[in-house]
Structures are given as structure tokens and as C-alpha cells.
Structure 1
Amino acid sequence: MLAQHPGWVFFEGCNMIEASIAAVPGLIVSFLILAALIAAPTVLVAKARNKPWPLRTALAVYLAGILAVTLLPGDAGLQSWQCDTGAPTHLFTSASSLLNIALFVPGALLAVLLFKRPVTVTAAFGALSGTVEIAQSAGHLGRSCSVTDLTANATGALLGSLAGAVWIYWRRQSPAKPLRDFAWGTSLGALAVLAIGGVFESRIDRVDIVAMDDQKRALAESAVQADEWITAAARGVFGSDTQVRETETNKDGNRLQITATTDHGTISGTWPAKTLESAWSSNTRGDAGSLNKNEVTAAAAQFAHKWFPQNVAGSDQRVRSIGDGPTMAYTVVYRRYADKVMMPMRLDLTITTTGRVIGFSAKTVNDPVLPPVTVDKAKAKALAKAATGLPSESALLLAQQVKGEWRPVWLVGSGKQDIAIDAATGERIAGKE
């Protein structure tokens, strides 16, 4: 029977921690040494007090096993004074959590069989679990402090104590002063919660490993999708026979910046917005084609409507030639204006007389809401001249971000210096020269 064979409970518990051996070098040797150091005095003290020694020794040795499994240096862990405080959502589905539950069940069971105080034992093992997690966080042990582990250990302590209580009642053995056990247990539990919670609140930096892992997984999945998208875009821009040689992905806030290098050129864009930003063919020479200016403009418009519908809508189109002769090419520029203010959207295409797009650069931005313009071109030039003492050569009204806010801005060229003037207030904008 279980009460007559406490060593059976101990060795069953040892089987539960076999999975930890590979992760903690020297676990078995360290455990055996620690168990021997604890078992010998436990037996001697028990015999000196005329107390049964097997159950006491089994509990002491099992506690040594818990300490060995949880506190021996390993090769994992967070930084010092950090703890994974993510919600224990995988408590009964994670193999690691189930192992931590199993680790504390036999110890709590042995303690209840020995002391017959299930409430106090539960609280004591819960406090032990919290102390272990704090020690893992505070020490440079290569171990990971985790609220999930703490919860799993406390759950194991509760299950072990319940099993011990059921065994006691089934064997019709009287618990040791139930009311005192309840009072001591609840007091110890409350004190442990306050102490451990205080340390977590005041000293430990919280991280959420599960959320971080989910983010990494989502990022990896997103990177695969982004790679597929940029590959399809490269073949759409450069031709269906395009072969992607490599892709480079960089995280930029909540988006991915992805660039593909192909046998026909390079192309880049952002994911998950699916907005292309630039592309340049490896062959930047013009083609000896037969398309005239109007036909090239129509080909550019067709390309722009396919790949940049948001940029083209409501935009003005301007065309200028590059070079001359049979290899002449054209630059087709799209800009959008609102109340004569140039919006931040940009789209520039370079296209040959065969309709081949050599390259493009694009900036896809929603039109910002701007304050009304109160400073006209003449006044902007006068303000710039007053600031520099130089005559104004040019003036351009466009939307720009100033200290994180979109403003209508006059960029006035004065000699070798550009002066930026807020078109709504007339104030000169520092740092824009």
C-alpha cells in the first residue's frame, strides 16, 4: 500500500523529471550528491527523535530533486531579473507545463502523507515554486523565470495535496487539526502571494515570451508571403521569364521592407500594404522602338494604372524625353495637387519607345488634411529675401511633415540656399534649409 511504501511515490516522481536531464548537464550526479547530503541527516534526526524515517527521507530527497531540476545552471534563460509573465494559456497542453505539474505532485503528496495538513502543504509548495522562479530570475543560472512554470508548479502542489487528502480520508486517518491547518495554510499562502508579488512588482522586468514567439512566427509567415508577392511583382514588371536570385527582408515598424534581386533587375516594396517603391532594370539603355510620345505616354498610363492605381487617381501627368535618336526614352511623372499644394504622393516612370519600363520610383501616401494656405507665392519670396538678403529664384508649394504634422510649405530657392516657410502661418521652418 502507498502509505507503507513511500519510496514508490518518490521513484514515480523521479520518472517525471527524466525529461529534464538532457537540458541540465550533470543533473543526475548533482542530484545524487545533494540527496545523500540531505538523506543522511534526515534519517539520523528521525531516529534520534524516535520518528519513522522512510517517509521523511523520501520527502527530503524529493525536495532535493526539485531543487536540482529547477536551480542547477542550464543553457537557456532570460536576462537577469527578467521573467516571462505571459498568461499560462498552454498550462495543460504544453509538454513543459505538464512536466512542471508532474514535478510537484509527488512532493506535495509525500508531505501530506507525512504531516496530514493538505492546506498548509499546498501553500508551502506554492511558496517554494515562487521562490524558485525568483531565484531563476535573480541568478545567472541560465534558467528561465516564468509565470506559467509557477502556475504549473502550484497546480501540481494542489493536485498532490488533494491526492494526499483523499488518501488520508480513504484510509480513515484523521487530518492534523483541520481548522489550524486551514488557518496556517491560508495565512502562509497570503503571505507568500504578497511577498512574491511584491518582488515581481518592484524588481522584475516583465516579458511575454509566448507573445514574442507568436510575433516571430507571424513575422516568419509574413516574410514568406512577402517573398511570394515580390516575386510575382518582379515577373509582372520585368517579364514572366524573370528568375529571382535572392530576396532581402527588413522589419520597419509593423511592416516589412522587401527587395528582390533578379536576373533582369531589382525591385522593392512594402508588405503587407503590397506597395511597390522602386524597380530598375539591369538594362537601362533605351530601345530602338517605334512608339511615339503619345503611344509611350499611353503605355506608361496603362502600367501606372495596373501597379499604382492609388497614385494615379486624380494626378497630373507630365512627360519629358531623355536623350535623342533611336534609343530615346521618356520620363513620365505623376503628381497630385489639392488647392495648388503638391501632395506627398510620388510616381516617376522611365519607359522606352518599345513600351519597356526601365524603372520607377514611387511613394504611396494618402493625401493629408492641411490647414488653409494664407501666404501666396509673392509673399513667400519676400519673406525668403528678407531672411537671406538674396533674390528668390524659384518657389514650390508642397505638403511636408513638420515635427510630425503635415503642413503646407513654400520651398523658396535663394541662391545656393532653400528657405522653408509655413504657407499657413508665414513662419520660417528651421532645419529645412
Structure 2
Amino acid sequence: MGIEFITVAADSASLQFSWPDRRELRMSSSLPVESVPEAQRMGKEPATAAAVAYMRQHFPWARDAAVKAEPSGDMGDWHISWKKTAAGVLMPLRLDLVVDARGRIASFSSRDIPDPRLAPVLVDAAAARSIVMEAAAPASPNLGDPFLAALPVHDTWRPVWRFPVLGPATAGRETAIAMVDAETGKVMRGTPGS
């Protein structure tokens, strides 16, 4: 039996979790979004402090990951995320919290997965870019900056170069992802031209 997701909905929020492992958990508030005057909106530091306190209480396994705070939308919300890297590879552990303008946790998404053992990285970013361009020929995709991530492929974790494919119609925003196995150099499914 594989991993399935169970959803529990209530008046004020919905919760989704993976079963039977319970390693992935998502919550989103169903409360209406309130407009908060700009002068009364929570700033970056207090929003981060609220998120860190919530993390310590509910997700202590994320405490050693790097934390980052960014504005989320135009209503004064903050996206606070925890991610972990090892040897330059983004690991699967994640915690994302959205703190609303009043300082409440509006949503979260968590993935408590231990660092997997990975094959060695034998293909560098420049070689991976060349591999994607060759696979996409005769098209010439506009590739953004790549990053290395541990991704599940079949029943194992692999080091993978991920390139955002930027589209002209989207003002340079990501429209797709091109991926190359960082050990074998194999183009992965979903990459333009694959």
C-alpha cells in the first residue's frame, strides 16, 4: 500500500496529511481574509518571531533548517519557510508558514523527511544546462538559474538539477521545470524535448 492523503475539513480550516507515515501535513484557514490597514500590519521581524514560536511548538524537527521570510501577496501576509541543504543539495525537509497581517498562522505545509542518502553529484550545472539545451533542440528554452535538489525517483532519492524554464509571455516567470539527474546526466521526464 502506498502513501495516501487524508483530508479533514472544519468550519475554520482544512487539514490534509499523508497516511500512514504522517510526514506531510498541510493546513489552510477557511476564515475570510480581512483587510488590515497598512500601518497596523505585522512587520517582517514580528511575523518571523510568531512563525518561529509556532515552529518550535508544533514542528521542532525544522529548528536546524535555514529560515527565510518574504512578503506574501498584497494584504500584508508573510511567507516564512525553513529549508535544509546538505553538500549544496536542497533536502526534502520543508516547513512553510503564512502569517497573516494580524499575526495569525493562516496556512502551513510541512514535510518531515530525514536527509536521504544520495548518489554523488558528477554533472555540474554548466554540463546539465548543455544537456537540457541539446534535449530541447531545435527549441531554445530560456533557462533560469538551476539548483540541486533531492527528489524521489521511483523508489529512491536522486540528486537532480532543476532549471526554471522562463516564458516571454509570463514576464520572465517560471512556466516549466527542466530536470537533469546530477549523477547520470539523464534528462528527466517533463523536461522540454524529453
TM-score, normalization: structure 1? 0.37
Deviations 1:353-408 (A, max 9, x none): 32201111222212101112122222211221122232533322111122322110
Query: Are the equivalent residues in 1 in contact too, given 2:90–2:149 (CA < 8 A)?
Result: yes
Partner of 1:308: 59
User: Compared with structure 1, are the counterparts of its residues 270 and 408 closer, same or farther at alpha carbon in structure 2 (3 Å cutoff)?
Assistant: closer
Structure 2 residues without counterparts, runs of 5 or longer = 167-174
Question: What's the offset of the Cα at 1:347?
Answer: 1.7
User: Compared with structure 1, are the counterparts of its residues 305 and 393 closer, same or farther at alpha carbon in structure 2 (3 Å cutoff)?
Assistant: same
Q: Secondary structure at the match of 2:78?
A: strand
Determine if the alignment matches structure 1 residue 426 to structure 2 residue 147. Answer: no
Partner of 1:365: 113
Question: What's the offset of the Cα at 1:295?
Answer: 0.7
**AA aligned opposite 1:370:** L
In our comparison, the structure showing a higher alpha carbon Rg is: 1
Question: What's the offset of the Cα at 1:291?
Answer: 3.0
Q: In structure 1, what is the Cα distance between the partners aligned to 2:116 and 2:71?
A: 31
Question: What's the offset of the Cα at 1:255?
Answer: 7.4
Q: In structure 1, what is the Cα distance between the partners aligned to 2:131 and 2:12?
A: 49
Q: Secondary structure at the match of 2:64?
A: coil
Greater RCO, 1 or 2 (C-alpha within 8 Å, sep 6+): 2
Question: What's the offset of the Cα at 1:254?
Answer: 8.0
Partner of 1:95: none
Q: In structure 2, what is the Cα distance between the partners aligned to 1:371 and 1:261?
A: 40
Report sequence identity in percent: 28
Q: Secondary structure at the match of 2:116?
A: coil
**AA aligned opposite 1:355:** G
Partner of 2:131: 383
Which has a greater percent of strand?
Answer: 2
Q: In structure 2, what is the Cα distance between the partners aligned to 1:270 and 1:393?
A: 32
User: Compared with structure 1, are the counterparts of its residues 271 and 403 closer, same or farther at alpha carbon in structure 2 (3 Å cutoff)?
Assistant: closer
Query: Are the equivalent residues in 1 in contact too, given 2:8–2:16 (CA < 8 A)?
Result: yes
Q: Secondary structure at the match of 2:92?
A: coil
**AA aligned opposite 2:119:** P
Question: What's the offset of the Cα at 1:336?
Answer: 0.9
How many pairs does the alignment contain? 177
Query: Are the equivalent residues in 1 in contact too, given 2:42–2:76 (CA < 8 A)?
Result: no
Deviations 1:7-61 (A, max 9, x none): xxxxxxxxxxxxxxxxxxxxxxxxxxxxxxxxxxxxxxxxxxxxxxxxxxxxxxx
User: Compared with structure 1, are the counterparts of its residues 393 and 274 closer, same or farther at alpha carbon in structure 2 (3 Å cutoff)?
Assistant: closer
1:410 to 161, 169, 185: 161
User: Compared with structure 1, are the counterparts of its residues 275 and 407 closer, same or farther at alpha carbon in structure 2 (3 Å cutoff)?
Assistant: closer
Q: In structure 2, what is the Cα distance between the partners aligned to 1:417 and 1:352?
A: 29
2:69 to 308, 311, 319: 319
Structure 1 residues without counterparts, runs of 5 or longer = 1-252
Partner of 2:152: 401
Partner of 1:294: 45
Over aligned residues, Cα RMSD in angstroms?
2.5
User: Compared with structure 1, are the counterparts of its residues 407 and 254 closer, same or farther at alpha carbon in structure 2 (3 Å cutoff)?
Assistant: closer
